[in-house]
Amino acid sequence: MANHRFSPVSEGEQPCCDISRKAQICLCVVLSLLVLVIIAVVTAILMWPRSPPNHKEWQGSGTTAHFGDIVLGRCYTYTQIVRPELRDKDCQKIQEVFLKSFLSKDPCDATEQDYQPLIELANQTVPCNKTVFWSKTKELAHQYTRVQQALFTLENTLLGYIADDLSWCGDSGSSEINYQSCPTRRDNCSSNPVSVFWNTVSKRFAEDACGVVHVVLNGSLNEAFDRRSTFGRVEIHNLHPKKVHTLQAWVMHDIGGVRRPVRFLQCVKNPEHPSCTSGI
């Protein structure tokens, strides 16, 4: 075997495998550029405009724009200003549970059970003798309860206040809100999220009523009491006889109705009407 001799590196000499300082700087620059490129690519992917989810098309308008923000804002307005006795309600949780009630679900297969967690979370007690139902008299009934603030229509409760005039739906194939279109009865879809919501909260509103309850009906129509309305289909059938001892129906015509406090409101908007100038 040949004899090999290894001489130690003398002091002051660099090992042959050491990288020069210049090479180290170049390597650091290359690595830094590589990191920057990776960050730029990831950022571009995340910020690249995504096409909206391919939801099924329905005949109704889509979910109200900024739905979640509106729900949260109305909840805070109601609990902090309108009814401050409910200030301890968790509006963030109410918004979250409301969204969960319809997201990632078939919008033609909504059920009462979907809304039960929301109803329990926003539970509210309406005092006896203070419940007001309405049928085809929404504007007039709400004008009255704005003056008589001790009275409650459904829309004067927390959930009714939050959801009034809003539309919403999701899709079983997506976890996102459908802002493009939502189903209605015209789509042969009676179990849509909005209809089921109002049927469910209307049922609960009627079940909780007690004492004397009131209903404002439109006597100017051919049928003041419409069995197909929410009051005729849902609410009147869920009044408990043991809790409700009197149902007062205020059948209002255009202005000349017999309910004087309501007529006062009508005359404010129509002061020249004969029923208003002849004494009420």
Catalytic (active site) residue 128: yes
Record the tokens describing residue 276, joined without a space: 């208003």
- Residue 63 near residue 167, CB atoms below 8 Å: yes
254 to each of 77, 155, 270, 276, how far by Cα in Å?
A: 33, 22, 10, 12
Record the tokens describing residue 266, joined without a space: 């009508």
Distance CA 112, CA 117 (A): 10
Distance CA 128, CA 139 (A): 23
Catalytic annotation, pick one of 75, 182, 189, 210: 210
Helices (H) and strands (E) in the chain, counts: 10, 5
Between vectors from CA 125 to CA 229 and to CA 64, what angle results, nearest 5°?
A: 55
- Residue 118: Cβ-neighbour burial (10 angstroms; 0-12, 13-18, 19+): buried
Catalytic annotation, pick one of 17, 128, 182, 189: 128
Catalytic positions, written as ranges: 128, 210
